[in-house]
Amino acid sequence: MRLAGKTAIITGAARGLGAAFAKGFGKEGANVVVADIRDGAATVAAVEQAGGKSFYVATDVRKQEQCDAMAKAAADRFGGIDILVNNAGIIVTLKPSMEVTTEEWLDVMATNALGPFQCIKAVFPYMKDKGGKIINISSGTILEGVPGMPHYISSKGAVWALTRGMAREFGDYKINVNAIGPGFTHSEGGNEFDTKKTFPPMPMDEIQMPVRCIKEPVYPEDLVGTAIFLASNDSRLITGQYILHDAGMLHY
């Protein structure tokens, strides 16, 4: 098992991608801290059924004190922190950009961009002397030029920029920092986005499928292997990278 004995914090792990990551990490032997503003009991049960150890910490990543408490709880329970997956994020409603309010912009940026930085600040004291793995969840939208979600794509672009900066700064501490950029994925959040958007009216799969190299729908479980690779020793010399995971819709 590639993550045996490792302790991973996964934010936004109550459902969707985060829950899939948590279960996959548990199968690989990790101790998994389920951090979310939502109740994470179901994910904890799934991790334990998969063979890992787990517990839930109520965490609002917009608040530094809650991020710090999350990290302390993880270290107190499992003796340290080896992996952080910054997955928590807000999925917005697609609508004309000029209808996005300042309040909406700031809320999205606080969760999607500031949140990962605050979580990194929280875990750094536990990683600086022994190394670690940080995986930031960005988005393929930052390369697509998607209209109608300027606040979301800006926040996820910030995640990619943060990844590069932190990778450069943390290299001497043997802390790897990488990002995954999912395309449209059939998670709870992704499906909510698809049904609530005001334009275009057709389902996202109908829009994207014709331009994907592999013309199949994408589900949270499809991204788990990539996250495990980045969390394991298999990627010990890979840092500062952005892995696009969108069935080949964009292949730069």
Mean pLDDT lowest among 93-107, 135-149, 191-205, 233-247 = 191-205
Q: How many residues does the chain have?
A: 252
- The single residue of 152, 173, 219, 242 carrying the catalytic annotation is 152
Residue position matching structure tokens 């002397």: 129
Which pLDDT belongs to residue 220? 97
Which pLDDT belongs to residue 252? 61
* Bridge partner residues of 135 (DSSP): 85, 178
**pLDDT tens figures, 39-92:** 999 999 999 999 999 999 999 999 999 999 999 999 999 999 999 999 999 989
Model confidence at 38, pLDDT cuts 50, 70, 90, reads very high
* Bridge partner residues of 186 (DSSP): none
**pLDDT tens figures, 183-233:** 999 998 999 888 888 777 789 998 889 999 999 999 999 999 999 999 999
- What's the pTM? 0.96
The whole-angstrom separation of Cα 36 and Cα 11 is: 6
Taking residues 242-249, what's their average pLDDT? 95
Q: Percent of the chain beyond pLDDT 70?
A: 100
Which pLDDT belongs to residue 196? 83
- Which residue, among 148, 47, 36, 53, has the nearest Cα to 94 in the 3D structure? 148
Taking residues 136-161, what's their average pLDDT? 95
Which pLDDT belongs to residue 33? 98
The whole-angstrom separation of Cα 175 and Cα 133 is: 6
Torsion angle in degrees (nearest 10) through CA of 126, 122, 85, 144 = -140
Assigned CATH topology for domain 7-184+219-244: Rossmann fold (3.40.50)
User: Is the separation of the CB atoms in 87 and 18 below 8 Å?
Assistant: yes
Q: Percent of the chain beyond pLDDT 90?
A: 88
Which pLDDT belongs to residue 176? 98
Which pLDDT belongs to residue 194? 87
Q: What is the mean pLDDT of the chain?
A: 96
Which pLDDT belongs to residue 21? 98
| 56: annotated active-site residue | no
Which pLDDT belongs to residue 201? 77
